[in-house]
Amino acid sequence: MARYCPLFSGSSGNSTYVGTADGGVLIDAGVSAKRIKNALETREIDPSSLRAILVTHEHTDHISGLRVLLKQLKIPVIATEGTLEALVHHNALPPDAVTIAAKETMTVGDLEVKLFHTPHDSAESCGFCVRFPDERTLAIATDMGCVTDEATEAITGCDLVHIESNHDVHMLECGPYPYSLKYRVLSNQGHLSNACCAALLPSLMQRGSTRFMLSHLSRENNSPLLAYTEARSALEADGGRLGSDFLLAVAEPESTAPLMMF
């Protein structure tokens, strides 16, 4: 049975667990190793059952606990070549780290993992699609300034889509960020807005996705209610019925939600 839980989500740190009864992987390690291990153990997941840490890109909110976790667990880190080079440059890996340059498709334990590139202001960011032994599929699609054809093709048909809904455009434009940061977030190399996320969801629902987790929300330029309402409205406007055709939730900055099995 597929197991999934967004442990941490947002600009203060990101980390998601994906696995089965036989073990799993961590996607990103953007808070301290202690907090990540505590979050896993709270859900009765033994950190030693992790097979690897998959890293989407090298920004601090995705790697701040990586170096210590790798020293403690002695598991490989998997990322694109560009991201691995950036991790070395930022001294984010212990000297004895085992690094694996992600291929288009690879096997990690009993999971099949496929990467897709994402447009973000980093060395070589990517998202991941995971196929479980029972053929269920999950996509992690965050930190992308726009939705590319590659990303759309990769996540279409996934049973569960963990997708960025970072900001409300009006809140961002009227908010306290300096112009340069607003420009960065709004650019095609920045972050996905509520509106862009919501516009994508109906087509995913029509092609088989039934569960959506809105993630990487900005604390300053968004709210869970805004993101949820815009996404739900788009899905229902396309004929979807909450609870019958789709399930929708918002990932908390530090989740207290139990492990999801689907």
The pLDDT tens digits of the residues spanning 85-144 come to 999 999 999 999 999 999 999 999 999 999 999 999 999 999 999 999 999 999 999 999
Q: Are 260 and 7 in contact (CB under 8 A)?
A: no
For residue 165, what are its two tokens? 């809904």
> What 3-state DSSP class applies to 18?
strand
Residue 135 neighbours by CB under 8 Å, 6+ apart: none
At 54 the pLDDT is 98
Mean pLDDT, range 34-44, rounded to an integer: 98
At 137 the pLDDT is 98
For residue 74, what are its two tokens? 């002695």
pTM for this prediction? 0.97
> What 3-state DSSP class applies to 67?
helix
Q: Are 190 and 233 in contact (CB under 8 A)?
A: no
Compute the mean pLDDT over every residue in the chain, rounded to the nearest whole number.
97
Q: How confident is the model at residue 176 (pLDDT cuts 50, 70, 90)?
A: very high
Burial classification of residue 79, based on how many CB atoms lie within 10 Å of its CB (0-12 exposed, 13-18 middle, 19 or more buried) = buried
Domain extent listing, the chain:
3-261
- Quick one: which of 237, 153, 151 has its CA closest to 188? 151
Q: How confident is the model at residue 194 (pLDDT cuts 50, 70, 90)?
A: very high
Cα 141 from Cα 168, distance rounded (Å)? 18
- Determine which helix (DSSP H) or strand (DSSP E) holds 72, and give its type and residue range: helix 66-73
For residue 35, what are its two tokens? 């907090």
Cα 192 from Cα 59, distance rounded (Å)? 16
* Tens digit of each residue's pLDDT (9 = 90 or more) over 205-261: 999 999 999 999 999 999 999 999 999 999 999 999 999 999 999 999 999 989 999
Q: How many Cβ atoms sit within 10 Å of the Cβ of residue 1? A: 10
DSSP annotation of 147 reads -
CA 214, 220, 221, 227 dihedral sign is positive
Helix axes 194-206, 224-237, angle to 10 degrees: 40
CA 30, 35, 41, 46 dihedral sign is positive
Q: Are 10 and 22 in contact (CB under 8 A)?
A: no
The CATH H-level (homologous superfamily) assignment of domain 3-261 is: Ribonuclease Z/Hydroxyacylglutathione hydrolase-like (3.60.15.10)
At 117 the pLDDT is 98
Q: Can you spell out the DSSP letters for 74-113?
A: ---EEE-HHHHHHHHHTT-S-TT--EEEPPSEEEETTEEE
At 132 the pLDDT is 98
The residues facing 44 across adjacent strands are none
At 151 the pLDDT is 98
At 122 the pLDDT is 98
Mean pLDDT, range 1-13, rounded to an integer: 96
* Tens digit of each residue's pLDDT (9 = 90 or more) over 136-171: 999 999 999 999 999 999 999 999 999 999 999 999
